[in-house]
Chain A
Amino acid sequence: MMADTMKKKDAPVLEICNMTQKFGGLTALSDFNITLGSKTMAGLIGPNGAGKTTVFNLVSGFYQPTQGQIRIGGCPTAGLKPHKVTALGVARTFQNIRLWNQMSVLDNIRVAQHGKLGYSFFQAILRTDHYCEREEQIKKEAYELLSVFDLEKYANEFPTNLPYGLQRKLEIVRALSEKPKLLLLDEPAAGLNSVDVQELIRLVRWIFETFDVTIWMIEHHMDVMMELCDEIKVIDFGQTIAEGSAEYVRNHPAVITAYLGDDNL
C-alpha cells in the first residue's frame, strides 16, 4: 500500500510506452514513447498528417491505443473514457476551437467542473445546502480564474462574440480550470497574427510559471517552440524521427528532410 502510493507520487506525469495506433490498415502512429516529468514544457512537431493530434487524442482517451500503454501519474488509462482520463489530471485544447458557443463564458468554465461537482442529481433538484455551497464555490472559482486571465468582463458574453485570440485564450483557461497536471495544447497559435503569437508565448510561459502544470504542445510556429519548449519530439508518418532540444531538432537532417523533402530526389 505504502509502496504503491510512493510509486504514484514519484511516477512521471505522463508515460507512454510503445504506443501504436492503427485505423483499419493505416498505421497512424507506431511505437511512440515519451516520458514527461512534472514541470516540464515539451513540444511535438511534424508535418501535416504526421499523427500529432492522434497522439493527443490517445492521451486524452478519445481513442484507445491499438498497442502500448499510457500512464498518467502512474495510472494506466487503458479502457478509461475521456472524462475519467480528465479526472486523472489531463486537460487539453483543440486544434479548431471547440468552445460551447451558445453558453456564456462563465458557463463554459462551470461545465468544465463537471468531473468534480460532488453532488448528485437529486441534490441539485432539492437544492440542498451542500449543492448550494458547491455551486457558489464553482462560480467563485470560475470568476477568479477569469479575472486572473483578465476575462471577467466577458463572463456573460457568448464565446462567438469574442475576438479569435480571446477564444483561444478562453479555451486554454477552460482547460486550466480542470486543474490539470498535464496540459495539452493543440496548435494554440493557429490562426493568430504575429502580435497575438507573442502574447500567447507570454501567456503560456506565465501559466507554466504560475501553475503547477506540465505543458505539452503541438505547434507549427517554430518560434513558439524555440521560445518555450525544453524538449521537442518530431514525428512523421507516425514514426518518431528526432527528439532533443529545439536547437538540436532544428538542425537534424531527418527533420529537414521531412519538412522540406529530400535533396537527392
Chain B
Amino acid sequence: MIETIIQNLINALQWGSFYALIALGYTMVYGVLTLINFAHGDVFMVGAYIAFFVATFILTVLGLPGWIALALTIPVTMILTSMVGVSLERIAYRPLRRKGAHRLYVVITALMCGLILEHANLAILGASRKAFPSLIVEHVYTVGGVSFTNLKIAVIVTAILSFFILQWIVTQTKVGMAMRAISYDKFAVPLMGIPIDSIIVITFALGSSFAGLAGLLFAMSYPVLEPYMGALIGWKAFIAAVVGGIGDIRGAFLGGFLLGAVEILVVAVFPSTYRDLIAFTVLLIILSLKPTGLFGIAKTTKI
C-alpha cells in the first residue's frame, strides 16, 4: 500500500514537473504583461523538436557519446527555444502593444501564433511521429518495492532546481525586481529609467528557455514527438498556473505539481479516460472556492 502511494507520488512529481516548467513561462509573461501567451504550449512543442534535431545532429553527424550530447543539447535547446519565444514577442506582440490594442487582441494573436507553429511544423515535417534518440541509459532502481528510473529523478530534480533559480532571479536580482515593478505599474516603470522592452524580452527568453528544457525532458521521458503534443499540455499548464495564482512563480510550481498529482491519482483509481474529466472538475472546484488561485492576491477594487 505504502509502496503504491510512494510510486504514485514519484510519478505525480515527474508529471507535475512538466506542467510546472511550462506553467512558469505562462506565469512570468502574465506577471509582467498580463498577457496570456497561448502560444507557450507550442513553444514547448518546438522546444522538443529543437532538442530532437540538436540531439540527432550531435549523435549521428558529430558522433559524440550520449552524455556529451545531453550536456550540449540542454544549453543549445534552451537558447534556441528562447529565441523562438523572443521572436514571437518581437514580431507579433510588441507592435500590437505599441499600438495600444485591446489586451484580448494580443491574446488572440498569441493563439494564432500557436496555431501557426503547430501547423507549420505539420506542413514542413509531415504528420509522421518522430522518435527521440536515447541520450542516456535508463536505469531502473527498485527500493522497497518502489521502482523509479534515473530519468524520472533527473526530471524532478531539474524542475525543483529551476524553481529555485527562477525564484532567485525574480526576488533577488535587479532584472527580477524590474519584472515585478512592471507588473505593479506599467506606466511608472519607464519613468524610473527601467528599459521596459528589454525586461519583457528577458521575461520571454527565460520563460521560453524553460519551456525548451521541459520539451527536452519530455522528449527524453516519452520519446515520441508530434506537432499537437504542445496544445493539450499547454492548456493544462496554463490552468495549473491559474490555479496556483497566475503571476506568481511559487503558484506555477505548486499548481503544476497539484495538477500532476490529481491526474496521476485519478488514473490510479479510475479508468484513464476519466483523467481530464475529474482533473478539470477538481480545478473548477478549487477556482470556485478560491477565485484568484492558491497564491493569487485578490485585487481589491478601490472606489
Residues of A within 8 A of B (CB): 53, 57, 62, 94-96, 98
Residues of B within 8 A of A (CB): 303
Chain B residue contacts of A95, Cβ below 8 A:
303
5 smallest CB-CB distances across A and B, nearest first, come from: A94-B303, A57-B303, A62-B303, A53-B303, A98-B303
Chain A residue contacts of B303, Cβ below 8 A:
53, 57, 62, 94-96, 98
Chain B contact residues: over half helix, strand or loop, or mixed? loop
In Å, the complex CA distance between A98 and B303 comes to 9
The closest CB in chain B to the CB of A63 belongs to B303
Give chain A nearest CB distance to B100 CB in angstroms: 15
Give chain A nearest CB distance to B302 CB in angstroms: 9
Q: List 7 A-B contacts (CB under 8 A).
A: A53-B303, A57-B303, A62-B303, A94-B303, A95-B303, A96-B303, A98-B303
Chain B residue contacts of A62, Cβ below 8 A:
303
Chain A contact residues: over half helix, strand or loop, or mixed? loop
In Å, the complex CA distance between A94 and B302 comes to 10
In Å, the complex CA distance between A53 and B303 comes to 8
Chain B residue contacts of A98, Cβ below 8 A:
303
The closest CB in chain A to the CB of B301 belongs to A62
In Å, the complex CA distance between A95 and B303 comes to 7
Give chain A nearest CB distance to B254 CB in angstroms: 23
Give chain B nearest CB distance to A69 CB in angstroms: 22
Give chain A nearest CB distance to B298 CB in angstroms: 12
Give chain A nearest CB distance to B33 CB in angstroms: 24
Chain B residue contacts of A57, Cβ below 8 A:
303
In Å, the complex CA distance between A94 and B303 comes to 7
Give chain A nearest CB distance to B58 CB in angstroms: 56
Give chain A nearest CB distance to B47 CB in angstroms: 41
The closest CB in chain A to the CB of B300 belongs to A23
Give chain B nearest CB distance to A44 CB in angstroms: 16
Chain B residue contacts of A94, Cβ below 8 A:
303
In Å, the complex CA distance between A118 and B303 comes to 29
The closest CB in chain B to the CB of A56 belongs to B303
In Å, the complex CA distance between A87 and B303 comes to 20
The closest CB in chain A to the CB of B303 belongs to A94
Chain B residue contacts of A53, Cβ below 8 A:
303
Give chain B nearest CB distance to A63 CB in angstroms: 10
In Å, the complex CA distance between A96 and B303 comes to 7
Give chain B nearest CB distance to A188 CB in angstroms: 15
In Å, the complex CA distance between A196 and B303 comes to 23
In Å, the complex CA distance between A98 and B302 comes to 11
Give chain A nearest CB distance to B185 CB in angstroms: 17
In Å, the complex CA distance between A99 and B163 comes to 44
In Å, the complex CA distance between A175 and B303 comes to 15
Give chain A nearest CB distance to B69 CB in angstroms: 55
Give chain A nearest CB distance to B29 CB in angstroms: 28
Give chain A nearest CB distance to B303 CB in angstroms: 6
In Å, the complex CA distance between A83 and B303 comes to 16
In Å, the complex CA distance between A57 and B303 comes to 8
Give chain A nearest CB distance to B102 CB in angstroms: 12
The closest CB in chain B to the CB of A57 belongs to B303
Give chain A nearest CB distance to B93 CB in angstroms: 25
Chain B residue contacts of A96, Cβ below 8 A:
303
Give chain A nearest CB distance to B64 CB in angstroms: 59
In Å, the complex CA distance between A113 and B303 comes to 21
Give chain A nearest CB distance to B260 CB in angstroms: 33
In Å, the complex CA distance between A110 and B8 comes to 59
In Å, the complex CA distance between A229 and B109 comes to 55
Give chain B nearest CB distance to A54 CB in angstroms: 10
The closest CB in chain B to the CB of A53 belongs to B303
Give chain A nearest CB distance to B143 CB in angstroms: 47
Give chain A nearest CB distance to B297 CB in angstroms: 12
